[in-house]
């Protein structure tokens, strides 16, 4: 059994990790830390876990995480970088769900996250945890940087086109929407029910942290200079993400060949569903599951390809993807513990 520790188990990605790992046949929850909730049984905070998680939260100084095989950080940015060096030195694998290790360039991280990086010596060692595009590197990694939710949709959506050299990489557009849970489990006016319900708005239009992350990763797959316009939006639902992606073709290709390109690329990826050409994937078709669904469109008379991508921002966009990485790191089938069917309605 894999002995698992979770740092910061009180947020939405934390409870999602608990839900998935409690049912994982090869995982043994060993420690869940929270300074504020020290001693509180996990099931008292999250009644959905009654009968499944018997542990209580522990203050960080009361547990020895070095006894774990893997530690997940479901924490704000800046926490993992402070604790990862000691854990790695003790032979513990680390998966960070925040952004501490997503960007290889220290200056870029500090520019976007407004904090000094506490472990720059680990940036090169960290492996970006998007299994569909980086599976082999994840399997041999000790430190994994779990991708952001929006970047997951953008990379999986654009990748086949960039790899094939079919589009102008300098004029990519992503118009994406996320449920309110993407903002985290905290008291904030903008995410209060009366503020976010019956409302729709864009945010981060002049610059969003996920832009440099996505651009840097997409750049790995093309010789062209990547240019990305990314506009995120907040929609009045709890969980779910929908990205509408636009890419301009520079080489002729018909619809059937375009569909075949995506089907061939993701044929062996259990958590990417390439739907029939012209389909309209819905966020509810992925709710509670680790599945990402996409569909291709070609507006009549246009040289644009439109890719529609949906996922659950808390599962494939966060905790499910982290468990997917853990499976790879420990030599398990990638789907282990992650075959939940989406909830409908």
Write the CA distances from 173 to 166, 231, 233, 305, 332, integer angstroms: 15, 8, 14, 11, 36
CA quadruple 341, 326, 184, 5: dihedral, nearest 10 = 120
pLDDT the model gives residue 184 = 79
Cα within 13 Å of Cα(81), Cβ side: 22
Residue 147, both tokens: 């991708």
Residue 155 to residue 152: CA distance in whole angstroms: 5
Query: Over the stretch 232-291, which tens digit does the pLDDT of each residue have?
Result: 999 999 999 999 999 999 999 999 999 999 999 999 999 999 999 999 999 999 999 999
pTM: 0.96
Q: Which parts of the chain sit beneath pLDDT 70?
A: none
pLDDT the model gives residue 197 = 87
By the 8 A CB rule, do 97 and 72 touch?
Answer: yes
Domains of the chain with bracketed CATH: 2-125 (3.40.50.720), 149-313 (3.30.360.10)
SS (H, E, C) 5-68: EEECCCCHHHHHHHHHHHCCCCEEEEEEECCCCCCCEHHHHCHHHCCCCCCECECHHHCCHHHC
Residue 182 to residue 16: CA distance in whole angstroms: 12
Catalytic positions, please?
149
CA quadruple 135, 136, 138, 142: dihedral, nearest 10 = 170
Residue 230, both tokens: 């990314």
241-248 and 172-178: which strand pairing?
Answer: antiparallel
pLDDT the model gives residue 216 = 97
pLDDT the model gives residue 96 = 98
Q: What is the DSSP letter of 295?
A: E
pLDDT the model gives residue 14 = 94
pLDDT the model gives residue 182 = 85
* Lateral strand order in the sheet of 292-297: 201-202, 228-234, 172-178, 241-248, 304-311, 292-297, 272-274
Residue 17 to residue 20: CA distance in whole angstroms: 5
Residue 92 to residue 343: CA distance in whole angstroms: 34
């Amino acid at each position: 059994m894999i002995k698992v520790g979770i740092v910061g188990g009180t947020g939405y990605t934390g409870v999602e990790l608990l839900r998935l790992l409690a049912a994982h046949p090869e995982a043994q929850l060993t420690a869940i830390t929270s300074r504020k909730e020290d001693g509180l049984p996990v099931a008292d905070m999250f009644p959905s876990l009654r009968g499944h998680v018997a542990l209580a939260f522990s203050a960080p100084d009361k547990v020895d995480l070095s006894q774990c095989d893997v530690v997940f950080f479901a924490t704000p940015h800046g926490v993992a970088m402070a604790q990862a060096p000691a854990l790695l030195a003790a032979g513990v694998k680390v998966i960070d769900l925040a952004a501490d290790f997503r960007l290889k360039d220290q200056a870029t991280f500090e520019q976007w996250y407004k904090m000094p990086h506490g472990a720059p010596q680990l940036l090169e060692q960290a492996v970006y945890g998007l299994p569909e595009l980086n599976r082999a590197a994840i399997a041999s990694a000790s430190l994994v940087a779990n991708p952001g939710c929006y970047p997951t949709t953008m990379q999986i959506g654009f990748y086949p086109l960039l790899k094939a050299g079919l589009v102008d990489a300098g004029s990519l557009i992503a118009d994406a929407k996320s449920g309110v849970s993407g903002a985290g489990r905290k008291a904030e006016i903008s995410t209060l029910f009366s503020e976010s319900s019956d409302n729709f708005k864009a945010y981060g239009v002049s610059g969003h942290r996920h832009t440099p992350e996505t651009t840097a990763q997409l750049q790995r797959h093309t010789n062209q200079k990547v240019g990305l316009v990314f506009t995120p939006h907040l929609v009045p639902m709890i969980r779910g993400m929908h990205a509408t992606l636009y890419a301009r073709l520079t080489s002729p290709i018909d619809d059937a060949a375009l569909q075949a390109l995506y089907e061939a690329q993701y044929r062996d990826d259990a958590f990417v569903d390439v739907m029939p050409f012209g389909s309209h994937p819905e966020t509810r078709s992925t709710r509670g599951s680790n599945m990402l669904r996409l569909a291709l469109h070609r507006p009549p008379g246009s040289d644009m390809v439109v890719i529609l991508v949906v996922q659950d921002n808390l599962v494939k966009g966060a905790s499910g993807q982290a468990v997917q990485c853990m499976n790879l790191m420990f030599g398990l089938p990638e789907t282990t513990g992650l075959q939940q069917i989406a909830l409908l309605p």
